[in-house]
C-alpha cells in the first residue's frame, strides 16, 4: 500500500516562512569555503534556503544576509545568479 508522501518543508532565511522545498532555492557553502547556488538541492555542504521571489532576493542583497548565514564574504555574482534564476 502506498501512502501519501510528505513534501519536505524548508524555512526561508529572509522571510522565516516554511514552504515546500520545490518553492525554494538552495545556496551552499562547501568544506573548501566555496559558496554557490545549488539548483537541484543535492550538493554537499551547509545549505541555506531562499524563497524564489525577486523581492526576497533584492532584500537579501541589501541586507547581505548570506554573509551572516555563512559567516564569510559573499561575492555579488551569487546574487546576480539568483536574479538570473528568477527571470527565467
| HSE value, Cβ hemisphere, 13 Å, CA-based, for 55 | 1
Question: What band does 1 get if pLDDT is binned at 50, 70 and 90?
Answer: low
Residue with the bigger pLDDT between 41 and 66: it is 66
Question: What band does 13 get if pLDDT is binned at 50, 70 and 90?
Answer: very high
pLDDT at 55: 94
Q: Where are the domains of the chain?
A: 9-87
Please state the rounded mean pLDDT for residues 25-31. 95
Digit-coded pLDDT (tens) for 69-88: 999 999 999 999 999 988 87
Q: Is the pLDDT of residue 49 over 90?
A: yes
Q: Does domain 9-87 have CATH number 3.20.20.80?
A: no
| HSE value, Cβ hemisphere, 13 Å, CA-based, for 47 | 17
Residue with the bigger pLDDT between 3 and 51: it is 51
Amino acid at each position: 500500500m502506498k501512502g501519501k508522501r510528505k513534501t519536505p518543508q524548508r524555512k526561508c532565511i529572509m522571510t522565516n516562512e516554511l514552504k515546500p522545498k520545490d518553492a525554494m532555492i538552495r545556496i551552499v557553502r562547501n568544506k573548501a569555503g566555496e559558496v554557490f547556488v545549488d539548483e537541484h538541492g543535492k550538493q554537499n555542504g551547509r545549505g541555506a534556503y531562499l524563497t524564489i521571489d525577486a523581492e526576497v532576493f533584492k532584500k537579501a542583497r541589501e541586507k547581505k544576509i548570506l554573509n551572516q548565514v555563512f559567516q564569510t564574504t559573499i561575492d555579488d555574482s551569487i546574487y546576480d545568479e539568483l536574479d538570473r534564476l528568477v527571470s527565467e
